[in-house]
Structures are given as structure tokens and as C-alpha cells.
Structure 1
């Protein structure tokens, strides 16, 4: 990658102060950047570094006023942090979508259709009747089962397993080790104490602009014609488990080690922190926020903020915790009071 400072400023909607013709090849931290790299200054704590940075250019706020002479060009923007994030995204796209063509050995089944500029890495397997859009990147050792559909500009990283009939939208990123479409945890208890497997016949449908972290597992729906669904813009961290028939609304984010039991519906714009457990058949309403390690056992109201196990309103939880952490001291004081009461002298009425 090599762009001029002016080209980057145009991309970010910023203004150049300095040499707009200087070339940028890489991104870097302001305190470590070298010539040919671009950095940003957002936190005032790091301002001292801008006066001795070796970066060719630094993205700064429009209101930035240097206190000393600078040896770097500036790109003035409204929000340096957001602008640098945009630059990171563009750089990531550039390096990620460079690959194209087919590496050997790889396999593709009958009646499968592949778009233009697709990359198929070595040892990748593509089943029959698969539809793959344009500019899709399928990295080595990925498995794509029969009847799978993958939209344009989606990345399937190394070692991903997509079971048959899975549907994935465009501009998605599926990270290494994900398993999508595996059987749900369906077992019927028998009279003798054993369990009989319930066949899982549905599929998984994933919307557009969805990111799924490494080693996350999403189970297929139970019945044929039904789907476990993730709507547009959903972001899942590593090691998330979504059981059969779960529905996740658009732009919801779920952090690592969260487990969602079967047939639960999660609304739009929810934020679910790490290690949360959600029982089956409940409805998590839109814009619900759930704190780390919470256990959710019932439906939530829209916009609610929950914490604890069982999960309750975050303000009630904090007030309860203020009491809970003082229980040892309160218990000690209660015992002291009890001893005093038991040792009070006994008074009898005068005869």
C-alpha cells in the first residue's frame, strides 16, 4: 500500500497542513512510528509524542493547536480516533482482498457456481450446488457444505466449517475455527434413563456485515424449513455459543464465552457482555444491555440494563452488592448485639 497524505485526507474528509505529496506505506503508533507511516492523536495524554514522532503524517482534531514546532504533516479531521479506524478498515480490506485464484489441492463439487475474483485456498472443500458471490475469500482448510450460499465480499478464514444449507450474506467475516450449522443439543430422555437423539433438520441464515469471532459455534434449527438467524450487522466475539432456533436482531453485539440456549430471541441493538448465560425460550428485548457473567432467566424490557445472577436491574444489583460485600461485618455486629441482648439483666415487677 502506498498513498499520498493528500489522498488519505480526501478519504477521511480532512484537511492537510504540511506536505500533501509525502508517501504513506504503513500505519503506526505515534510514539513508535517511522518515516512513511501515519498515526493519530486523540488522547491529550499522548500529545508530547507528536513533537518528536518520526511519522510522516498524524491525524489530529481540527481544534488541535501545537505548542512546539512539528516535524510531521497533519491531517485535520472532526474525530481523529474514528478517522484512524476508517483508515484501519481500508488497510485491512486492501491486504485481505488481494488474494484471488485457486490453490492446489482444493475441491469443488458439481453444479457449484463461483463469482469473479474469488480466492480458494489450498485444501479447501466446496460441496455441490454451492453459490459463492464475487470477491469471496475462502482460506485453506475451510469446509463449505452442500447447498451453502455465500454473498459478495465475504471472508471465510482458515479452518471454518459451514454445514450444508447455511446461508451467509455479503461483507461478512467468519474467523478461524467457527462451526456454523452443526446439530443443536436435542436429546429426548427415555424411560430407562438414556437419551434419544432428535435429528436437527434446519439451517443457519446470516445477514450482511456480520462478524463472527474464532471458535464460535452456531447450531442449526431443529425443523426443516426453520432457521437459526443472525440479522444484519451482528457482531459475535470468540467462543460464543448460539443454540438451535436462536434469533439475533440487527446490530447486536455479544462478547466472548456467552451461551444462548435454544429458541431464545435477542432483539436489535443489544449489548451482551462476556460469560453471560441466557436460558431457552426467552425474549431479550431491543436495546437490552447485560453485564458480564449475568444469568438471564426471563424476558427483558426494552432498554433495560441488567447484571447479576439471576439478572436484575443494574442499579438494584449495585445497591444489593453494597449490602452483600458488608455482610461479614454486619454478621459480626449482629452477634455482638445478640450477646448484649442475651446478657441484659432480668427485671421483675415488685410484689
Structure 2
């Protein structure tokens, strides 16, 4: 559901955007677009973001922009959204950029990176740093535009059947973990794989995998992973997981200026609202988990394991940067932005929380 604050924002935006259109707006052409999402029908939070976007776009355009959504259980290709939007089979997609690393390695840097930026830092990089410009460089050769599509915040490190006490416990471990983090674990001897959301529980139940990471308490409890894998580890690999709206560039260019702006505003607001929703649901479900599922064992990876992960991550980043100038530009931009933003994060958020801890003691 769209909140009252969102409704007010939409109404205000509609008035502002109305100056972009002609007086005869209501009589103008209706643009009907199709969207493919990587999630199944009515999937919570992830599926809410594109639906909020669609409702806002239609309202602000006074019905001139109508978008229908096909879920993964209809189009049958949850990890095929990139290709379907590129081919024009769909005008828009909602998915995650790091799913395309096998096709275009540089796409994975725009979801999140191990030991990288937090969500506020990353949003700063996207909108006020070089993030959007670099993302356009990566996607433009494929006739696509990519926009932030909703953030989960810091994700949990995953569900494990067995406790991780040392690096030896990672060797041969079959784990569902996408993106750059999968490469980090592979370097340490694990066997990472990517599996669509709708197949995760079955894969864990049937021992196809030994462990998996999904999101966090906002979504994990309802998936039932705790019934099979009781060890729940805190995160390191996805501190700011940003989903994406993929737009076919031909479709984008066919839209009038005012509808392009309406679509842009709708995507941006829907993305931010998903971040708020994820934060809320994580807090609520964490409390539920602690009270209703006391057998779940919350763990943090041992320091030697985390140190090895960070070292492997740094080595892989250096290797990737050395192979491709655009990769290097993206990595350098992220690291430079984080270096500046993290100082403020430490002075503001970290210092505030540490001050509260001292009072509590």
C-alpha cells in the first residue's frame, strides 16, 4: 500500500509535473508498457516496489502511462529479465544488477559490494557522485537504462546447516550467494551458485546447497529457512543491496518528456520507499524471531574468516580493475566516495550509537 506521505508526495509531484504537459493531456495518447519482474506474484517488499511505481506513474500521468507487470511465475525466466528487456519483449524490468555478471561483469558493482558502502552512502554515490553516470556507461551499449529500484539495507550473512568456525569450514561449501561475494567465497574454496528466489527453500531442503543467503529478517522468516539451517550469520557481503528498474532505451525515447519525468520520479520514490519498508519489516521480524524461534542461533563469522574474506575481496578487486578500464573507473569511484562518506558515517551514526551504549552501561 502507498502511505499517506507517499500519496501527498504523488499529489504534489503531479501538480509540478503538470507544467510539463499540454492542457489537452487527458485527450493525449495512452502509453501501455509491460514490465517483467524477477519475483513471483505478490512477493513481499521486492514485489511491492514495482507495484508502487506503477500506481504512482499512472496517477501522476492521469492515466496516460499504464504499466502491466508479469511476475516470474508467468514469464518463467526470473534470471532472464536483462535479455527480455533488451530484446524489447518487455519495456521495463525489475530485478538486481548483479544477476547479470555472467553476461556483463561490470553490472554487479551497482547492486552492492562486500565490505562496501551502506545504503545512505551508496544512494549518495548514485545521485550525487558518479554512480548514475557510470551505470549509464555500462548499460547503454546494450540499449538499456538502469535506475535504482529499492534497497534492503544491510543483509544477513546467510543460513548455514553447520557452524562456521574456520576457513576449512568454507571449503567445498555449496552456497547460494550471487554477485561479487560469490567470487570471494569461491576464492576461499566454497562453491557458490545463484538460484531464483522461488527455488531456494527446495534447494536447501533437498541438500542441493549447504547454505544460502537471501535478505534478512524482513523476508527470511517467511521463507522458512530456519527449519533446515539453524545458524544465522550477520552480514559482510551485501551492506546496501539495491534492486534495479531496467528500461528499454527505445521505449524510453518514445515517451514524451513529461512521461519520462513521471517515470523517473515514480521509480526513485518507489525505490526509497522499499528501503524504508525493508528497515521496518526487519525490525518487526527480528523481534518476532527472537521471541518465537529461540532455537535460531545468531552468529558472527570468526575474525580470521572475516579477515580472509576481506583480503580475498581486495585481491579480486585489484585483479578486476587491472583487466578493464571501466571496471577500474567504477571501483575507484566507489572506494573514493566511501572513503569520504564513511568519515561522516562514523562521526554521526557510529558515534551516536556508541554514546548510547556508554550510557546504557
- Place the TM-score, normalised by the shorter chain, in its bin: under 0.3
Structure (1/2) with the larger strand percentage: 1
Which one has more relative contact order, counting CA pairs under 8 Å at least 6 apart? 2
Larger Rg belongs to: 1
TM-score, reference length from structure 1: 0.22
Structure with more of its chain in helix, by fraction? 2
